[in-house]
Amino acid sequence: MSTTGPAALPQPVLVRGTGLLGTSIGLALRGRGVEVLLHDPSPAALAVAQDIGAGRAVDLEGAPAGDDADTPVPGTVVVATPPDVAGRVAVDSLVRWPEAVVMDIASVKASVQAEVRAAVGNGPLTEADASRYVGTHPMAGRERSGPVAARGTLFTAAPWVVCAEEGTSAAAVAAAEALAGSTGATVHTMDAGEHDASVALISHLPQVAASLVASRLQETPAASLALAGNGLRDTTRIAASDPQLWVQILAGNAARLVEILHGVRADLDRLIGTLEAPDAPGARLDIARLIAEGNAGQARIPGKHGAPPQAFAVVTVVVDDAPGQIAAVLQATGDAGVNVEDLRMDHASGHEVGMLEISVLPGRREELAAALTERGWKVV
Amino acid sequence: MSTTGPAALPQPVLVRGTGLLGTSIGLALRGRGVEVLLHDPSPAALAVAQDIGAGRAVDLEGAPAGDDADTPVPGTVVVATPPDVAGRVAVDSLVRWPEAVVMDIASVKASVQAEVRAAVGNGPLTEADASRYVGTHPMAGRERSGPVAARGTLFTAAPWVVCAEEGTSAAAVAAAEALAGSTGATVHTMDAGEHDASVALISHLPQVAASLVASRLQETPAASLALAGNGLRDTTRIAASDPQLWVQILAGNAARLVEILHGVRADLDRLIGTLEAPDAPGARLDIARLIAEGNAGQARIPGKHGAPPQAFAVVTVVVDDAPGQIAAVLQATGDAGVNVEDLRMDHASGHEVGMLEISVLPGRREELAAALTERGWKVV
């Protein structure tokens, strides 16, 4: 039995599902010396995950009790399957290993929780079995999927929600928190309903909005799109998401999302009515109200490191599209002793230059602009 | 008479309205040696614009013919007022200076064009007068407003639309293109209808979507917002826009915007219907279709420098929140001879580290990851 890794995390840890997230969890835990077993219905995915060092592949067939040497009894099972089968695999795991903590990582929690609850009584589980289940959601991802894209550092500084329900055992919650913490994530504790309501607003609504906007661009003439700036790019960036994954996420959280979308539709209807008679009395006030309400909501989004929202000052520098240019600007910024709070490139159509937008504390803005100008940079 | 600046641009140039954009135009033209006159109904704004070198303040009262020494006759007039008075000031300028080219820079063009047309015949203008008017739209801005925020480099590499209509004189179009080009902007030529349809889609729709999403966050518990990632931040960034300005823009382009919003509402209604019965036959396909349509639209947005959209590979590096860290990573990137195509910070709540996401050509990804890892950086 391994003796490294956090004491609250029963080992070995079995990861069921070696996609991007499952494999990344394996890599992160192996990096902390935790004993990790891997399983996936796809032999190819499983082999890749083992080859890159995420843990040891095991065969679950013929080993329901898991008590032979090849398949040790897991102390913790991480269900890292696609979301639509997470509930079924969680129940299966609770049945197979009657002592193990079982956690899943699906991005919607109440439906998985409900599937586990439904298996109690009439189903194969006792109340004690169900108490070993804990729903979690690591809020991390990459633009690529599959075990090849996995990284042990994927969860560094990412939020990882652990859903402690009334019936969840303290040991299960402690194991989930220990596992999440081991990967470098920040643990947030809330119940499944609170989690699902939160992600409906901060993740599923933005996805729907981005898709709705981007969808309108399908027939747009290229000359119009050539005028696109960062406003459009930012608003639609997540519209590039995977349809198969998002079908499962949106359908899994349908009730909570639909409630929010009714509110959006009411606002949209009001705006359409106003824009159909833009010179009617009160019309301008109505439009201003929508934008002002957006101001108020946007201002509540926390800033860097979860700090209160803070208005940074932006220094914009013109940089050529050549290696080393951005580094040189930031080198000069570091030499001036000014910390970079945020950073982005603003790309313009048709020019071989870019704008580097450096966010700094407001009190440092003029100092940095002067320092960069003095070094010959073109500060906009 | 000045002999510098482009020949196609009749001088002096009078800028009417010394806010952010008007003052920035003055600064850019002065940087090219063009003679610039400034006027604004606010003496304070006018004084600031003159003091920072955007041109020479002039008094338009009592000088309708503009033929005394203090108020030379402008060859070109740039109407840089708030959008809702741009048409009126354009007509006034065409009347006051019967030889001058008159251009405005409001962000909606058909309504200004219509005001100028309405002044022909029954109004104070002849057809010849109207042919001296040309509508334009520089697509640049800053998070701050007013002449103090003005920069001569504001338009560098930004698109600047020049609307050549059937009745517009070639000299007026040439003057507008010369002025826009002088500021470093990239000229795009299209008619007013095409412009307004374009910005309705690529600018006004994203603004509405961002405001609608952000508006939903007004009552969200802080614990939910603490889970927010870059998806929410990006989708709502422009929701911080100025309500007074956006009322004028949205109301000014109401007819074109409302047509697009009807399409959005139809898609939203369909999604709401689907999510109200997520297990009905065809429901999942319907959700997948929305996301896939978003994929298709998003993929059409041009990339850097107006190049065809390109999928860059991303190298993510963990950096501490301390001066010089980002510079050091990019220095190493430059040393490796790899060009940075795009750059962003990914901030996580509750951790004093950030993720620097470096976009590079796909073929350079592994090379860069290896080079950074070798230099001791934590590549995610």
Residues A186 and A201 in one domain: no
Question: With an 8 Å Cβ cutoff, are A246 and B347 in contact?
Answer: no
Give the model's confidence band at A53: pLDDT under 50 very low, under 70 low, under 90 confident, else very high. very high
Cβ neighbours of B264 (radius 10 Å): 21
Amino acid at A47: A
Q: Kindly list the residues from chain A whose CB atom is less than 8 angstroms away from the CB atom of residue B207.
A: 231, 291
Query: Which residue range is the domain that position B358 belongs to?
Result: 310-379
Report which of residues A330 and A163 the model is more confident about. Answer: A163
Residues A125 and A44 in one domain: yes
Q: How far apart are CA A273 and CA A263, in angstroms?
A: 15
- Residue B344 is encoded by which pair of tokens? 């962003």
Q: Which residues pair with A313 in a beta bridge?
A: A360
Question: Is position B124 within any domain?
Answer: yes
Does the CB of A365 have a partner CB in chain B at under 8 Å? Answer: no
Question: With an 8 Å Cβ cutoff, are B353 and A157 in contact?
Answer: yes
Residues B209 and B342 in one domain: no
CATH code of A158's domain: 3.40.50.720
Residues B178 and B227 in one domain: no
A161: left (phi over 0), alpha (psi -120 to 50) or beta: beta
Calculate the average pLDDT of chain B. 89
| B284 → closest Cβ in A142, A251, A295 | A251
* Residues contacting A213, CB < 8 A, separation 6+: A232, A235, A236, A239, B205, B206, B209, B264, B294, B297
Does the CB of B145 have a partner CB in chain A at under 8 Å? Answer: no
Whether the pLDDT of residue B197 is over 50: the answer is: yes
Q: What is the pLDDT of residues B85-100, one digit of tens each?
A: 999 999 999 999 999 9
Whether the pLDDT of residue B1 is over 70: the answer is: no
Question: Nearest-CA neighbor of B239 among A205, A369, A347, A358?
Answer: A205
Q: Which of A223-227, B319-323, B356-360 has the highest mean pLDDT?
A: A223-227
Residues A146 and A255 in one domain: no
Residue A350: its pLDDT value, please? 47
Residue B313: its pLDDT value, please? 80
Residues B286 and B351 in one domain: no
Question: Is position B215 within any domain?
Answer: yes
What average pLDDT score do residues A109-131 get? Answer: 94
Which residue from A minimizes the CA distance to B219?
A: A297
Question: Is position B2 within any domain?
Answer: no
| B206 → closest Cβ in A213, A242, A314 | A213
Q: Å from A96 to nearest chain B CA?
A: 29
Q: Kindly list the residues from chain B whose CB atom is less than 8 angstroms away from the CB atom of residue A143.
A: 314
Calculate the average pLDDT of chain A. 89
CATH code of A366's domain: 3.30.70.260
Residue B187: its pLDDT value, please? 96
Give the model's confidence band at B304: pLDDT under 50 very low, under 70 low, under 90 confident, else very high. low
Identify the domain boundary among A130, A161, A190: A190
Q: Which of A257, A287, A298 should we substitute to test contact with B (largest number of B Cβ atoms within 10 Å)? A: A298
Of A34-43, A90-99, B232-241, B360-369, least confident by mean pLDDT is: B360-369
CATH code of A262's domain: 1.10.3660.10
Q: What is the pLDDT of residues B27-45, one digit of tens each?
A: 999 999 999 999 999 999 9
Report which of residues B158 and B144 the model is more confident about. Answer: B158
Q: What is the pLDDT of residues B273-290, one digit of tens each?
A: 999 999 999 999 999 999
Residues A130 and A238 in one domain: no
Note if the bond before B12 is cis, omega within 30 degrees.
Answer: yes
Amino acid at A132: R
**Strand A133-138 with A159-163, pairing:** antiparallel
Question: Is position A8 within any domain?
Answer: no
Amino acid at A231: G
Question: Using N-to-C axis directions, what is the helix angle for B110-118 and B86-96, rounded to 10°?
Answer: 40
Q: Which residues pair with A316 in a beta bridge?
A: A357
Q: What is the pLDDT of residues A233-242, one digit of tens each?
A: 999 999 998 8
Question: Is position A235 within any domain?
Answer: yes
Question: Is position A2 within any domain?
Answer: no
Does the CB of A321 have a partner CB in chain B at under 8 Å? Answer: yes
Give the model's confidence band at A349: pLDDT under 50 very low, under 70 low, under 90 confident, else very high. very low
Give the model's confidence band at A64: pLDDT under 50 very low, under 70 low, under 90 confident, else very high. very low
- Helix, coil or strand: residue A39: strand
Question: Is position A260 within any domain?
Answer: yes
Q: Kindly list the residues from chain A whose CB atom is less than 8 angstroms away from the CB atom of residue B268.
A: 208, 212, 261, 264-265, 268
Q: Kindly list the residues from chain A whose CB atom is less than 8 angstroms away from the CB atom of residue B242.
A: 291
Residues B162 and B260 in one domain: no
Q: Kindly list the residues from chain B whose CB atom is less than 8 angstroms away from the CB atom of residue A238.
A: 231, 234-235
What average pLDDT score do residues A111-140 get? Answer: 95
Question: Is position B217 within any domain?
Answer: yes
Whether the pLDDT of residue A352 is over 80: the answer is: no
Residues B109 and B159 in one domain: yes
| A247 → closest Cβ in B262, B287, B302 | B287
Q: What is the pLDDT of residues B308-341, one digit of tens each?
A: 555 678 888 888 767 778 888 888 888 888 888 7
**Domains: count for chain A:** 3
Whether the pLDDT of residue A151 is over 50: the answer is: yes
Which residue from A minimizes the CA distance to B256?
A: A275
Give the model's confidence band at B306: pLDDT under 50 very low, under 70 low, under 90 confident, else very high. low
What average pLDDT score do residues A290-301 get? Answer: 93
Identify the domain boundary among A272, A298, A324: A298
Residue A14: its pLDDT value, please? 97
Residues B263 and B320 in one domain: no
ipTM, two decimals: 0.82
Question: Nearest-CA neighbor of A207 among B284, B292, B232, B268?
Answer: B232
Which residue from B minimizes the CA distance to A341?
A: B321
Question: With an 8 Å Cβ cutoff, are A211 and B260 in contact?
Answer: no
Does the CB of B281 have a partner CB in chain A at under 8 Å? Answer: no
Q: Kindly list the residues from chain B whose CB atom is less than 8 angstroms away from the CB atom of residue A108.
A: none
CA angle B292, B232, A173 (to 5 degrees): 100
Report which of residues A201 and A321 the model is more confident about. Answer: A201
Does the CB of B171 have a partner CB in chain A at under 8 Å? Answer: no
B240: left (phi over 0), alpha (psi -120 to 50) or beta: alpha
B79 in Cβ contact with B103 (< 8 Å): yes
Residues B184 and B43 in one domain: yes
Q: What is the pLDDT of residues A303-336, one digit of tens each?
A: 755 555 556 788 888 887 667 788 888 888 888 8
Does the CB of B128 have a partner CB in chain A at under 8 Å? Answer: no
Q: Kindly list the residues from chain B whose CB atom is less than 8 angstroms away from the CB atom of residue A139.
A: 227, 229
Q: What is the pTM of this model?
A: 0.83
Residue B137: its pLDDT value, please? 97
CA A302 to chain centre: 16
**Strand A13-16 with A76-79, pairing:** parallel
Q: Which residues pair with B290 in a beta bridge?
A: none
Residues B132 and B271 in one domain: no
What is the number of alpha carbons within 13 Å of residue B205 lying toward its C-beta?
33
What average pLDDT score do residues B197-220 get? Answer: 96
Give the model's confidence band at A101: pLDDT under 50 very low, under 70 low, under 90 confident, else very high. very high
Does the CB of B148 have a partner CB in chain A at under 8 Å? Answer: no
Identify the domain boundary among A161, A190, A219: A190
Give the model's confidence band at B3: pLDDT under 50 very low, under 70 low, under 90 confident, else very high. low
